[in-house]
Amino acid sequence: MTWGPGKDLMQAHIRSVMHGGRLVTAAATDSLQDVAAQIALHGVGAVPVVDAEHRLIGIVSTSDLVYMLHDAKPLDGVTAGDVMTRDPISIDEFAPAGEAIGVMRNALIRHLPVTREGRLVGMVTAADLIRHLLQDPDPEVA
């Protein structure tokens, strides 16, 4: 196996790379305790926050929760909307993987929401990109 970003990986549509499992989301009014429970239950590193039309409005990451715990702030009465990163960086489902890699590297993030016309359709993570590389994929090319 040759290491390094191959053309196939770089040109694959993000929708063919992103995790295909159930997408865990939250509403801005959901309690932070519930969001933390979802993170623990599903083993995810971030939960996108969406509105009633499933438009991406924020994201709550494990880092956000760690900061709260480190500062000994109680989670009671705190909502996802209180701590979420508003208007998070996202990427269109038809963007090439190379673009997602650049975005994640430049923004120093490991979880990137994937959208279609502003609505959340998935998440791509650094681990998804690594798995895709190791599978020697036959990608849907942009």
Residue 80 forms part of a structural domain: yes
32 domain residue, yes or no = yes
User: What local confidence, expressed as pLDDT, does residue 129 receive?
Assistant: 85
DSSP codes of every residue in 49-69: EE-TT-BEEEEEEHHHHHHHH
> Residue 114 pLDDT more than 80?
yes
- Does residue 63 form part of some domain? yes
* pLDDT tens sequence across 83-97: 999 999 999 999 998
Q: Angle, nearest 10°, between helix axes 126-134 and 97-107?
A: 140
What is the number of structural domains in the chain?
A: 1
Residue 139 lies in a domain: no
SS3 42: helix
> Has residue 68 been placed in a domain?
yes
CATH number of 23's domain: 3.10.580.10
pLDDT surpassing 60 at residue 21? yes
Range of 75's domain? 7-134
Q: What is the DSSP letter of 111?
A: E
**140 domain residue, yes or no:** no
